[in-house]
């Protein structure tokens, strides 16, 4: 099967950029789906590290290989009412909108900065080439 048809779920549980870059360079997609601000203290990879990995993947040109989600947030919403206390503490005050309102904003800002940098570099190269023609 072609790597372009495969996504590795829970990739953000790694935090190992060599591993993540190795996968996307071979054409695999990464599902970064444990993006919660209120992760339990025993999680090995903090939310900040998860976002840092997303930023680094974007900077490396692999934004199109990243899926962002909160799978336990959605699944937890299907639990009986008395079992939902843990879910309410994951991403206050946004709940299910945390990825949309926080993590996607960070990713979009990084993409905009990358695009601006690439555009500036292309413009400078074009300007230099125009100077050498005259």
In this predicted structure, what is the pLDDT of residue 27? 97
- Do the Cβ atoms of 10 and 33 come closer than 8 Å? yes
- Cβ neighbour number for residue 115 with a 10 Å cutoff: 10
**pTM of the complete model:** 0.72
Secondary structure of residue 32 in the 3-state scheme:
strand
Residue 121: C-alpha distances to residues 26, 69, 75, 113, 116 (Å): 27, 33, 44, 12, 9
Label residue 76 exposed, middle or buried (CB < 10 Å: 0-12, 13-18, 19+): middle
Q: In what order do the strands lie in the sheet containing 29-32?
A: 7-8, 29-32, 66-68
Residue 134 banded pLDDT, cuts 50, 70, 90: very low
Instruction: Print the domain residue range for 80.
Output: 3-133
Number of domains in the chain: 1
Classify residue 53 by burial, with Cβ atoms within 10 Å: 0-12, 13-18, 19+: buried
Report whether 38 contacts 90 (CB < 8 A).
yes
At 40-99, the pLDDT tens digits run 667 788 888 888 899 899 889 999 999 887 766 566 667 777 766 766 667 667 777 777
Q: What is the pLDDT of residues 106-127, one digit of tens each?
A: 888 877 777 776 656 665 665 5
CATH of the domain at 103: 3.20.20.140
Which pLDDT does position 132 carry in this prediction? Answer: 53
């Amino acid at each position: 099967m072609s790597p372009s048809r495969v996504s590795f779920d829970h990739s953000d549980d790694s935090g190992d950029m060599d591993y993540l870059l190795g996968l996307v360079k071979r054409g695999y997609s990464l599902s970064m789906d444990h993006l919660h601000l209120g992760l339990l203290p025993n999680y090995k990879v903090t939310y900040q590290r998860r976002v840092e990995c997303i930023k680094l993947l974007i900077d490396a040109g692999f934004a199109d290989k990243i899926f962002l989600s909160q799978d336990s947030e959605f699944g937890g919403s299907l639990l009986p009412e008395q079992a939902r206390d843990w879910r309410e503490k994951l991403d206050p005050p946004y709940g299910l909108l945390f990825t949309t309102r926080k993590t996607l904003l960070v990713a979009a800002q990084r993409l905009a900065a990358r695009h601006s940098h690439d555009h500036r570099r292309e413009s400078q190269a074009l300007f230099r080439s125009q100077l050498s023609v005259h």
